[in-house]
Amino acid sequence: MMRKKALTAGVAAAAALLLLAGCANKAGSPDATSGGGGAIDVPAVTSVDTPKDAVLPAGDGKGKCAATTTIAYIGAETGANAQLGINIFNGVQLAIDQHNKANPDCQVQFKKFDTEGTPDKATGPVTQAVGEADIVGVIGLPFSGESKATGNIFEQQGLVHLTPSATNPGLTKNGWTTFFRALGNDSQQGPAAAKFVTDTLKAKKVYLVQDDSDYGIGLGTATSDALGSALAGTDKVTTGQKDFSATISKILNAKPDAVYYAGYYAEGAPFDQQLVSKGYKGAFVGPDGVKDDQFIKLAGDASKNAYFTCPCIPGELLSDFAKEYQAASNAAPGTYSIEGYDAATVLLAGIDAGKQTRADLKDWVKNYDKDGLSKHYKWDATGELQAPAVYGYKVDGGKIVYVGPIGK
């Protein structure tokens, strides 16, 4: 569990209620001929505490830097799953704006490079960015596949980059010294997801479907391994797939209580919509790649059965951050908004401390050991965050709401 990060007493109460609610609903669960273990009333948690020692972008207002000092965002701004990248970009923009307002002698520049979220299109923008000497640090890339495809480019140029969202465990096993993950990976999320589905949602039979991305493959493997005997079957889908009838037929024949989908919302939403339209009545559980308001928009009423797992906390429940983000972006914080904000703050704090070359800023991140708004940031030698946590969410009244830590 993150150091100094205290959730309100509502979390503890929620944990107890999860078990009570699960037992109460279990007794009345419907016949599973079309799949379904019944709706589980998982209580929402409505507030989280801000760490009192959290580092904020403004710093002490005494920062000094060259007028050309630049931080970049590299990741999706367009493409099928662009909203996840936009959430990050908006968080980074807010942090830089707050920093520059408070530090007249250090006006950090901000550049963005669009990868469309795909490995084949990411190498060009990354190559362009690393070739610009004024860029001393990067937030991104958001997705695991594009991170895998470009990590060596960053490494060759000694350019530190913090991903707020790429969770494939293999990314930190490449010997890179410039890659840092600002959240837990799928080796943590997979077992937590399995525990959430079987313990909290009381599913005895779980059908797992994964897409063909590095993210989906890694998370699908970690989750299926953790499900053990509760795993009722598995299937695979592809990026861009529109018709899921073959997979749905397998699911309905297996009669699971829950379906866990390891992938992104662009495919997850129509998959859930088609699944429900064929008579499935159980829970649909997706990871952080599915946890976005776009999922609800695309899935429609079918999203009422949806739950999510994510190594991210709800930025919308941090009142000051939520107000400032809304004012700046004309939108509520989304998945990874707070992680983007915190990751940018790590780099900004280094710049204010005089770490304004690529080598110095990389060493700053390597030795960082401080609270952000979302968690404590300290990395091991491979770039993995130490002591990460995983959290649960559900759809309630057409909105994604927080249900607290899971998997512990």
Query: 100-118 pLDDT, tens per residue?
Result: 999 999 999 999 999 999 9
Q: What is the pLDDT of residue 39?
A: 63
User: How confident is the model at residue 2, as a pLDDT?
Assistant: 34
In this structure, what are the phi and psi dihedrals at residue 332, rounded to the nearest 5 degrees? -75, 155
Give the model's pLDDT for residue 340.
Answer: 98
Q: Which amino acid is at 293?
A: D
The number of CA neighbours under 13 Å toward the Cβ of 234 is: 18
Identify the residue with better confidence: 330 or 32: 330
Q: Which residues pair with 252 in a beta bridge?
A: none
Spatial separation of the C-alpha atoms in residues 305 and 307, rounded to whole Å: 7
The predicted structure's pLDDT at residue 41: 82
pLDDT at 235 over 80: yes
315 DSSP assignment: G
Q: Please give the average per-residue pLDDT across 20-29, as a whole number.
A: 34
Given a cut of 60, is residue 270 above it in pLDDT?
yes
Judged against a pLDDT cut of 50, whether residue 183 lies above it is answered with yes
pLDDT in tens, 116-150: 999 999 999 999 999 999 999 999 999 999 999 99
Q: Which residues are registered as beta bridge partners of 399? A: 396
Tell me: the pLDDT tens digits for 41-97?
Answer: 899 999 888 888 999 999 999 999 999 999 999 999 999 999 999 999 999 999 999
Q: pLDDT digits over 340-366, tens only?
A: 999 999 999 999 999 999 999 999 999
